Amino acid sequence: MIMPFARIIGTGSFLPSNIVSNADLVSLLANQGVETSDDWIYSRSGIQSRRFAYGESQTSDLAATAASHALKAAELDADAVDLIIVATTTPDAVFPATACLVQRKLGIRNRCAAFDIQAVCGGFI
């Protein structure tokens, strides 16, 4: 019996250029009446900085850019993709799934399945 399988043959990523440090976040939160500190954030999360996407950027834009990088690394055309899974708690909208928007932005015209997982920790798939 032949079993279907999946392979990872290319990976891609994208990070917005705007870096927000803990000190920046402390200032932002102080303006909203929330008291915290760089040390408090770091000791509980291990995070020193994060990236923010501003303007018209949406989750699907970031994901489509990362997917394009993965396709290039794998030397594949977008229509070779059989499945798109997007793991996010910040979808573009409730409906349609962000994965469907990524599919459109990549120009995939085949019968590629696309769905979102809203349990981000499950995104390790």
User: Each residue of 42-82: pLDDT tens digit?
Assistant: 999 999 999 999 888 999 999 999 999 999 999 999 999 99
Answer whether residue 78 is part of any domain.
Answer: yes
Same domain, 124 and 108: yes
Distances (CA, A) of 80 to 4, 64, 108, 117, 125: 16, 15, 8, 22, 19
Question: Does residue 2 sit within a domain?
Answer: no
Structure tokens at 21: 């440090």
pLDDT range class, residue 110, cuts 50, 70, 90: confident
CA–CA distance, 95 with 44 (Å, rounded to integer)? 34
What average pLDDT does the segment 19-47 reach? 97
**Both 64 and 91 in a single domain?**
yes
Whether 108 maps to a domain, the answer reads yes
Backbone φ/ψ region at 55: left (φ over 0), alpha (ψ -120 to 50), beta: left
Same domain? For 69 and 119 the reply is yes
* Domain residue limits at 33: 17-52
